[in-house]
Amino acid sequence: MPHSSLVIQRLFQIPFAAWILLLAACSTPLLAQSGTGRAAVEFCCVIWEPLPITEVFYQDGDSYLPLEFSPDQRSEFYPMKNGGALKLYKKESGADGAFRYILVGKAPLVPKTRRMLFVVSPVPGTTGLPLGLYGVDDSLNAFPPGTSRFFNFSTTALQVRFGGKSSKLPAGEVTVVKSGVAKSGGFIPFLIGDLKGEVVFETRLFSQPTGRDMVFIGAPPKPGGRVLVKLLPQLVSPEHPQPAGQPQTPSP
Please give the order of strands across the beta sheet that includes 174-178: 174-178, 147-153, 211-218, 228-235
Greatest Cα-to-Cα distance within the chain, rounded to the nearest angstrom: 63
**251 inside domain:** no
**248 inside domain:** no
Do 118 and 145 have their domain in common?
Answer: no
Do 210 and 188 have their domain in common?
Answer: yes
Residue 74: what pLDDT? Answer: 94
CA distances from 52 to 9, 123, 241, 247 (A): 29, 10, 32, 21
**203 inside domain:** yes
Do 22 and 133 have their domain in common?
Answer: yes
Q: What is the DSSP string of 64-80?
A: EEEE---BTS----EEE
Distance separating alpha carbons of residues 144 and 148, to the nearest angstrom: 9
Do 145 and 130 have their domain in common?
Answer: no
Do 32 and 88 have their domain in common?
Answer: yes
**247 inside domain:** no
Task: Write out the H or E segment, with its range, that includes residue 88.
Answer: strand 85-93
HSE value, Cβ hemisphere, 13 Å, CA-based, for 243? 12
Do 47 and 120 have their domain in common?
Answer: yes
**252 inside domain:** no
Do 126 and 229 have their domain in common?
Answer: no
Do 27 and 127 have their domain in common?
Answer: yes
**209 inside domain:** yes
Last residue of a domain, one of 137, 156, 177: 137
Last residue of a domain, one of 91, 109, 137: 137
Domain count across the chain: 2
Do 80 and 153 have their domain in common?
Answer: no
Residue 38: what pLDDT? Answer: 60
Residue 109: what pLDDT? Answer: 92
Last residue of a domain, one of 76, 104, 137: 137
Residue 17's SS3 state is: helix
Residue 238: what pLDDT? Answer: 61
Give the contacts of 241 (CB within 8 A, at least 6 positions apart). 140
Question: Which CATH number do you get for residue 198?
Answer: 2.60.40
Q: Structural domain of residue 145, as residue ranges?
A: 6-13+140-235
Residue 124: what pLDDT? Answer: 80
Do 24 and 124 have their domain in common?
Answer: yes
Do 88 and 155 have their domain in common?
Answer: no
**103 inside domain:** yes
Do 35 and 131 have their domain in common?
Answer: yes
Residue 15: what pLDDT? Answer: 46
Residue 149: what pLDDT? Answer: 95
Give the contacts of 226 (CB within 8 A, at least 6 positions apart). 12, 200, 201, 220
**242 inside domain:** no
Each residue's pLDDT expressed in tens, for the chain with a length of 252 residues: 433 333 332 223 334 444 444 444 333 333 333 444 567 899 999 999 889 999 999 999 999 999 999 899 999 999 998 778 999 999 998 888 888 999 999 999 998 899 999 999 998 877 789 999 999 999 999 999 999 999 999 889 999 999 889 999 999 999 999 999 999 999 999 999 988 889 999 999 999 999 999 999 998 878 777 889 999 999 998 654 444 444 443 333
Task: Write out the H or E segment, with its range, that includes residue 23.
Answer: helix 16-24
